[in-house]
Every structure is written in structure tokens, then in C-alpha cells.
Amino acid sequence: AQSVTQPDIHITVSEGASLELRCNYSYGATPYLFWYVQSPGQGLQLLLKYFSGDTLVQGIKGFEAEFKRSQSSFNLRKPSVHWSDAAEYFCAVGGGFKTIFGAGTRLFVKA
Amino acid sequence: EPEVTQTPSHQVTQMGQEVILRCVPISNHLYFYWYRQILGQKVEFLVSFYNNEISEKSEIFDDQFSVERPDGSNFTLKIRSTKLEDSAMYFCASSGPSRLAASYEQYFGPGTRLTVT
């Protein structure tokens, strides 16, 4: 069955610290992978996506993610977190005319 | 850049009433979708629509839900008799313009927040 697992329900980091949000997926075919960010009460903003090629993808707002097929992972990283990054982050997998979302990780940023 | 639009941004309705949520997909897209996000939970697939037919639907998409493409630009989700548990953010998405392109990525609208009282 297709699924996306985000093991961390919430994470707290200090402003300026580095960030890594974990994502593991289960998908029978070639996965197309996405990270979205959602502020409270708002819509989904696409941070980055991976279809093929270079396994390290760059996104908006200084985020990057690395696809590791052997680990079925697509972790999101940022070298230095800003207070404005506090939000909910969703990992998602597509490729079959349906996008399957993880449960999300809420990021808290402390001063 | 073309984008998916949704109206209204917020809809309040009483339990038992019918609601229609509207979406304008990207103009050359062929595949259309609805997703639902209950507050504090993940985004869940409801239904996909292609060539004026439902392609796939989830177990959430029961008989109270229907979708329609009434003209060349709109895509609607109707909930016939709303229940309190239908309160959620509803996202429309579209993909295309070819089957290959559609299989890669869906483009999401900003969502309609439905509140059932």
C-alpha cells in the first residue's frame, strides 16, 4: 500500500539552528516526491519536488531535500531556520494521479 | 503563472444544508481532484475526475458527495446534506495537459474552509 510516514509530530528548533524533517515513503512504482508547507488556516505551498535526476533538490525559502532510494526517504533540510519558518510541513508522494500526504510535522521556532 | 482558484474562501452552513464548492482549474489541464483536510489532520484524497467521469474515489467520498464540471472552466464539489464532521478545508487540484504530465504533479488551489454549524 502506498503511504508516507513523517515520524516526528512536532519539532522545536532555535532560530538560526539547522533543521531536518524526516519523511519515509512506501510506493510501488517510481515515486514523485514533494514537500509542502502550510501556515495555520492557510493553503499548501509547494517547497520543492523530486521527479528524477540529481537526488539533492533545491527549493524555495532556502530548503533542500535529499532522495535516498535505498532508505525510501526524502528528508527536508534547512541550514539556518528563521522564525517565519514556523508552520506545518507535509511530505507527499505522487505519480499515480493521486497525491498521498504524510500526517505532517509541526515546526516550532524558539528565539 | 497559471494557478488553481477556489471560491468561496470560507463557507459557513447549517447542518443538513447543501453546499457547492467551486474551483477553476488551470485552463489546459485535463485531470481534476478534490482533497479534504480536517483541522489538525493530514490532507486526504477524495476523488479524481477525467473526461467527465470519476476516475477514482476514496471511501470518504460517499453518496452525499458529487462532482461536476458544469462548463469548460469550473469544477465543483457538492455536499448534499452537510454534517458537522464535514467541517474541513477542501482543496481542489488539477493536473495535465497530457496523461504523462498529469501523472507527475498536481497543482493545488488555496482551499475553501467549510464550517458546518
Three-state secondary structure along A69-109? Answer: HHHCEEEEEECCCCHHHCEEEEEEEECCCCCEECCCEEEEE
Residue B102, pLDDT score: 77
Distance of CA A10 to the CA centre of its chain: 13
Per-residue pLDDT, A26: 92
Q: Which of B56, B91, B108 sits opposite A98 (nearest CB)?
A: B56
Chains A, B: CB pairs < 8 Å? 54
Say yes or no: B105 contacts chain A, CB-CB below 8 A: yes
Measured distance CA(A36)–CA(A109) in Å, rounded: 18
Q: Which residues does chain B have with pLDDT short of 50? A: none
pLDDT value, residue A110: 96
pLDDT at A69: 92
Average pLDDT, chain A: 93
In a mutational test of the A interface, the residue from B103, B113, B115 whose CB has the highest number of chain A CBs within 10 Å is: B103
How far is residue B33's CA from residue B71's CA, in Å, rounded to a whole number? 16
For residue range A74-111, what is the model confidence (pLDDT) as tens digits? 999 999 999 999 999 999 998 778 899 999 999 999 99
B25 within 8 A of B95, measured Cβ to Cβ: no
